[in-house]
Amino acid sequence: MWQKLFLQSLLLSAALSSVMAINCYVCDASDTNNPFQCGEWFERFDDPDLQPQNCSNVHDAKFCIKHVGRFEGGIGAKRFCSSKDLGNYCDYVRNKGDRMDYRSCIYTCNTDGCNGASSLHLTQLLLPSVVGVVAVLAVMRLKILW
Q: Domains for the chain: give ranges and CATH numbers.
A: 21-120 (2.10.60.10)
CA nearest to 86, candidates 17, 24, 18: 24
- Distance (Å, whole) CA 134 – CA 139: 9
pLDDT in tens, 63-83: 999 999 987 767 889 999 999
pLDDT in tens, 84-120: 999 999 999 888 888 888 899 999 999 999 998 754 4
- Distance (Å, whole) CA 74 – CA 23: 27
pLDDT band (50, 70, 90) for residue 48: low
Q: What is the DSSP string of 100-123?
A: S-EEEEEEEE-STTTTSS-S--HH
Q: CA–CA distance from 79 to each of 30, 86, 116 (Å)?
A: 12, 13, 8
Per-residue pLDDT at 29 exceeds 70: yes
